[in-house]
Structures are given as structure tokens and as C-alpha cells.
């Protein structure tokens, strides 16, 4: 009985250590801006976590890379076939090795091959972490690609770089918080082993990857050169209201505007801020055509926004009064609306609460 308990505690500690290493690696990766640094750090991470006998990396345009000429568990033709497939990862028949694919910013693909890992009984745990790490790498490489594209577009460079800095700042801040939660759980589990600590760690990891997905949704914000399309505002808000948001939302009127996918995040951010900071549980949204614009008012029954910070909440990094630029942030929301050629402002609602006013160019 004692041996089983000790084995269970060892397993919990091993899992928590893996999560901690993964989160620490993600935090470091988010600070790099060169593909070579990202690839090298990723190799170091997998070498430390999986302890493979052989670890190599090569890219699709160079399948004869010397580092992968002498595979021991995979057959080379298996890896080449995997490269041409639509799969993200492949497990060797021996169940001792695996490889995974990464899409690079230039459209090329890279493959990491890990053979004869030390902890073979944890193969599927490592694979789950690998797929999560892969999504982080994809996001970071996409951001690097966009930064490279912006270098050739001087007119858009300053504004777009500001947006990228904010996105990366949000990502690093939230990852650091979740990394702290994992470290604390690990320390507590060492003194008082308990399965609940592994659950705390898992939730912190889940929150981190949700944040990563949120950041992926901001691609349209950076792509300022893309054409805008026609969007039905009511349908966007109804979709948000249909999620697990704890808010009674009423919608009056219809409008079609020229926008992109980022518009959904603007409304979602305003709604979530009303709940988190204004403690609101009811919201009334009205919209109507007004000249060349769609005029939208968003009223809530919360505590409202003090006058002294009304002009500040759209600024980058503003945190006074409990407001902070988490998720998309009001700063980025303002940038999105301005990119559409519109305006956003906030005022008091009657008898209480906040009222956001948006004017977005409409389409007939």
C-alpha cells in the first residue's frame, strides 16, 4: 500500500515537473524573434524533457540534412512520407519514438525527430505537451513572419509594431502568472502530496493555451492590408451571447458594417469588462444606420467607470481602478475600430453603469 502511494506521488511529481518545464520553455520562446533561436531552444526543451537517444531536426527543402542521416528507430522513408502527409505527428511502430511537424513562416515545414525516449511509459503525456508546444511555436513564427513583412511596409510599421508589442506583452504577462501557479503547486505537492495540486497545474496550463488561442485570433488586427468584408453586427453579438457569458443581453436593431473577424473580439472584450470590472449582469445593445455609419450603443447596469479614468481606459497598459488590458484589451479594441475608419467612446449610463458608443462605417 505504501509503495503504491509513493509510486502515485512520484507520478504526480513527474507530471507537474513536465508542466513546469513546458511553461518555462513557452515563456522563454515568446521572447525570441529569430527562427534559428526558436528551433534551437525547442531542441533543448525536448532533449531535457524526453531524454531521447537521438534528436534531430530538418526542413522540407533539405531532407538530406546531416543531423538526420542516421536514424535508429524510424526508417527514413517513413519520415519522408510523414512530411508529405497532413498529419501533425507520428509514433514509431516500436512506441519508443515520435516525430512532429512544424509549419515555418516562409511556408516551409520543419520536422523534429525524437528516437528512443527514456520515459517510454509517458509517451502520450509527452505527445499532448508536444501538440500544445507546437501551437505556441506556430503562433510565434507567424508573429515573426508578420514582423518581417512589416519591415517592407514603412507606412504601417509603427502602428503594427505597437500592436505586436501589446500582444506579446499580454501573452508573456499571463504566461508568467500561470507559471507561478504551477511552481507554487509543485512546491506544495512536495511537502503535502495531493492530486488536487496536479489539477491546479493542469488548469494553469489550460488557461495558458486558451490565452495562446486568443492571441491567434488577433492575426486580423495586425493584417492591416487585408480587405474588409460585410458583417451583420446583430449576428456577431448573438453568437457571443450564446456562449457561457453570464450576462443578460438584449439586442435592438440591425446593421451591416465593413469589418473583419477582429470585430467579434471587440464586442466580447466590452462585455467581459462590464462583467469583470463593472459587476454588470444586464446589457442593452442598440444599433441603427446613421449616415455612412452604423451607430451602436452598449449600455450596462454595472458600477460604471469613474470620470477620472474615462479618457485613460483606451490607453495601452492602463491598470488604474481595477481595469487592465487583459485579453484583447480596450486599447486594441480602439485600434481595431479606428482601422475600420470608425470611432469608440465611453460615457455614463442612466441611472447607472457604463455606455460604450461605437460608430463603424456601414455597407448598404
d(CA 182, CA 20): 6
d(CA 45, CA 295): 51
Could you tell me the three cell numbers for 232?
A: 451583420
> ∠ CA(248), CA(250), CA(252), 5° rounding?
170
Number of CB atoms found within 10 A of residue 277's CB: 18
Give Cβ neighbours of residue 359 (< 8 Å, ≥ 6 apart).
Answer: 290, 293, 294, 295, 296, 342, 343, 344
Looking at residue 105, its pLDDT comes to 60
Looking at residue 326, its pLDDT comes to 45
Residues of the chain with pLDDT under 50: 224-225, 325-327
d(CA 54, CA 122): 17
Whether the full predicted model's pTM is greater than 0.75, yes or no, is no
Looking at residue 327, its pLDDT comes to 41
Number of CB atoms found within 10 A of residue 82's CB: 18
Reported as a single tens digit per residue, the pLDDT across 286-337 is: 999 998 999 999 999 999 888 888 888 888 766 655 555 444 578 878 888 9
CA end-to-end distance (rounded Å), the chain:
73
User: Which residue ranges make up each domain of the chain?
Assistant: 2-222, 229-361
Before 351, cis peptide (omega within 30)?
A: yes
- For the CA atoms of the chain, what is the radius of gyration? 24
Question: What CATH architecture applies to the domain 229-361?
Answer: 2-Layer Sandwich (3.30)
Reported as a single tens digit per residue, the pLDDT across 223-259 is: 544 568 899 999 999 988 877 677 889 999 999 999 9
Helix-then-strand count for the chain, H and E: 11, 11
Looking at residue 315, its pLDDT comes to 80
Looking at residue 163, its pLDDT comes to 67
Whether the CB-CB separation of 100 and 89 falls below 8 Å is answered with yes
In order of 89, 230, 305, the CA distances from 290 in angstroms are 52, 17, 26
Looking at residue 296, its pLDDT comes to 97
Cα–Cα nearest to 335, from 343, 323, 346, 325: 343
Looking at residue 224, its pLDDT comes to 47
> ∠ CA(356), CA(275), CA(289), 5° rounding?
30
Amino acid at each position: 500500500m505504501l509503495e503504491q502511494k509513493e509510486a502515485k506521488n512520484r507520478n504526480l511529481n513527474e507530471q507537474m515537473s513536465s508542466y513546469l518545464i513546458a511553461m518555462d520553455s513557452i515563456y522563454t520562446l515568446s521572447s525570441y524573434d529569430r527562427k534559428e533561436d526558436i528551433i534551437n531552444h525547442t531542441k533543448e526543451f525536448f532533449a531535457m524533457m524526453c531524454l531521447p537517444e537521438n534528436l534531430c531536426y530538418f526542413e522540407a527543402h533539405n531532407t538530406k540534412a546531416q543531423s538526420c542521416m542516421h536514424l535508429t528507430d524510424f526508417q527514413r522513408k517513413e519520415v519522408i512520407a510523414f512530411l508529405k502527409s497532413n498529419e501533425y505527428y507520428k509514433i514509431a511502430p516500436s512506441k519508443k519514438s515520435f516525430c512532429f511537424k512544424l509549419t515555418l513562416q516562409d511556408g516551409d515545414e520543419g520536422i523534429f525527430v525524437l528516437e528512443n525516449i527514456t520515459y517510454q511509459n509517458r509517451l502520450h503525456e509527452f505527445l499532448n505537451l508536444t501538440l500544445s508546444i507546437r501551437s505556441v511555436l506556430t503562433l510565434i513564427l507567424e508573429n515573426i513572419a508578420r514582423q518581417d513583412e512589416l519591415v517592407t511596409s514603412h507606412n504601417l510599421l509603427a502602428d503594427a509594431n505597437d500592436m505586436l508589442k501589446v500582444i506579446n506583452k499580454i501573452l508573456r504577462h499571463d504566461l508568467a502568472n500561470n507559471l507561478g501557479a504551477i511552481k507554487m503547486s509543485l512546491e506544495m505537492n512536495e511537502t503535502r502530496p495531493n492530486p488536487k495540486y496536479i489539477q491546479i497545474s493542469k488548469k494553469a496550463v489550460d488557461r495558458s493555451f486558451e490565452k495562446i488561442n486568443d492571441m491567434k485570433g488577433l492575426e486580423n488586427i495586425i493584417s492591416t492590408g487585408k480587405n474588409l468584408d460585410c458583417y451583420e453586427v446583430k449576428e456577431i453579438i448573438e453568437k457571443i451571447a450564446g456562449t457561457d457569458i453570464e450576462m443578460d443581453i438584449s439586442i435592438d436593431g440591425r446593421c451591416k458594417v465593413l469589418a473583419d473577424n477582429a470585430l467579434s473580439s471587440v464586442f466580447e472584450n466590452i462585455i467581459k469588462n462590464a462583467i469583470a470590472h463593472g459587476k454588470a449582469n444586464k446589457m442593452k445593445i442598440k444599433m441603427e444606420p446613421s449616415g455612412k455609419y452604423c451607430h451602436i450603443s452598449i449600455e450596462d447596469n454595472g458600477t460604471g467607470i469613474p470620470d477620472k479614468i474615462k479618457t485613460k481606459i483606451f490607453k495601452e497598459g492602463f491598470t488604474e481602478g481595477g481595469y487592465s488590458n487583459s485579453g484583447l484589451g480596450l486599447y486594441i479594441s480602439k485600434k481595431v475600430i479606428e482601422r475600420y475608419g470608425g470611432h469608440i467612446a465611453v460615457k455614463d449610463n442612466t441611472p447607472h453603469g457604463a455606455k460604450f458608443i461605437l460608430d463603424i462605417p456601414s455597407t448598404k
